[in-house]
Amino acid sequence: MDVGFIGLGRMGQAIAGRLLDAGHDLVVYNRTRSKADDLERRGATVAQDIAGACAGRDVVFTMLTDDKALDTVVGSGLLDALAEGAIHVPMGTHSVTALTELAETHDAAGQVLVAAPVLGRPDAAAAGQLGVVPAGPADAIEKLAPLFDIIGRRTFVAGTNPAGAAAVKLANNMVLGCAIEAMAEGFALTRKFGVTPEVFNEVLTDGLFAAPAYKVYGGIISNEAYDQAGFTTLLGLKDSNLILAAGHAASVPLPSCNVYRDRLLGAVAQGDGERDWAVMARVQARASGLE
């Protein structure tokens, strides 16, 4: 399949690399040209601009930081260059409002939008172990299924409304953020009674919470490995604001989200915006008189 890919951060590079290795004809674009160098060495074509990554492509993936970046890319060449009937697949975490409006824009241009945010960190992307959550026209999702199989371990079809995919991604991130906040409080409480972080982490991950999220983030908190950011505090804060906006739009109260959103905001205020979002445990520790 002729594929375009725009946005080559850590996640984008890993996903694009898997598509390339599977034999698809890949054209890539990134604002910082050097981030495309490895893919170019492996056989990808590097476009000089956004339009060049979209012209003649059956499908164009975008992996972008936020709604503003998505709007800029769409308005700076993607919409005009994408062929009639071609599919745009935004894989980043975007608001339900942005995807609703974008679906209408593509429909008016005779194009197709399938929102497909992913679940997992960059190492999972490189291994093809992401969860993929597409939502959009059923025939388009069926066409994309072979590509999703390359990218992820499982595809969770979230219906025909692209905003539904955003809702799933945001809700998943909310539950994960709440889990990290709860772990942070648990680590702080046990430390106050002289228990080492390693012991509490073993208790968590050997019992009821022997799940990847607790193992990954429990390990980060226990080892204070916040500088090895798989998902930054600033991105977590951005997503928490999107979650609260979605809840407001649908009249769904989300009190737990407010708690960990404030913890993330505190981490940013303390200069930890670029550290892994598990650093909210450090904020909790400081609030507990531990640092």
pLDDT digits (tens, 9 = 90+) for 193-219: 999 999 999 999 998 999 989 999 999
pTM (predicted TM-score): 0.91
Give the pLDDT score at 111: 98
27 DSSP 8-state letter? E
Q: Is the predicted pLDDT of residue 291 greater than 80, yes or no?
A: no
Give the pLDDT score at 148: 98
Q: What is the pLDDT of residues 223-260, one digit of tens each?
A: 999 998 889 999 999 999 999 999 999 999 999 999 99
Measured in whole angstroms, the distance separating CA 8 from the mean position of its chain's CA atoms is 13
Give the pLDDT score at 230: 84
Average pLDDT in the 71-97 region? 97
Catalytic residue among 169, 192, 215, 238: 169
Contact at 8 Å (CB) between 119 and 92? no
Measured in degrees and rounded to the nearest 5, phi and psi for residue 159 equal 105, -165
Reported for 118-123, long-range contacts at CB under 8 A and 24+ positions apart, including other chains, are 118/11, 118/15, 118/91, 118/151, 118/152, 119/169, 119/172, 120/152, 121/216, 121/230, 121/231, 122/10, 122/11, 122/14, 122/230, 123/230
Q: Is the predicted pLDDT of residue 41 greater than 80, yes or no?
A: yes
d(CA 30, CA 271): 28
For the chain, the distance separating the N- and C-terminal CA atoms, rounded to the nearest angstrom, is 54
Q: Is the predicted pLDDT of residue 14 greater than 90, yes or no?
A: yes
| Residue listed under structure tokens 């972008």 | 64
Give the pLDDT score at 281: 97
Name the residue among 116, 104, 173 with its Cα closest to residue 143.
116
d(CA 190, CA 201): 10
Query: What domains lie within the chain, and their CATH numbers?
Result: 2-160 (3.40.50.720), 165-287 (1.10.1040.10)
Q: What is the pLDDT of residues 150-194, one digit of tens each?
A: 999 999 999 999 999 999 999 999 999 999 999 999 999 999 999
Measured in degrees and rounded to the nearest 5, phi and psi for residue 154 equal -160, 145
Residue 255 CB contacts under 8 Å (≥ 6 apart), including other chains? none
User: Amino acid letter at 177?
Assistant: G
Give the pLDDT score at 104: 97
Give the pLDDT score at 121: 84
68 is catalytic: no
Give the pLDDT score at 224: 96
Give the pLDDT score at 117: 97
Which stretch of 23-27, 96-100, 272-276, 287-291 has the lowest confidence by average pLDDT?
287-291
Residue 98 CB contacts under 8 Å (≥ 6 apart), including other chains? 67, 70, 71, 166
Average pLDDT in the 87-91 region? 98
For 187, 207, 215, the CA distances from 191, given in Å and listed in that order, are 6, 19, 18
Contact at 8 Å (CB) between 281 and 183? yes
Q: Which DSSP helix (H) or strand (E) runs through 155?
A: strand 152-155
Average pLDDT in the 40-69 region? 96
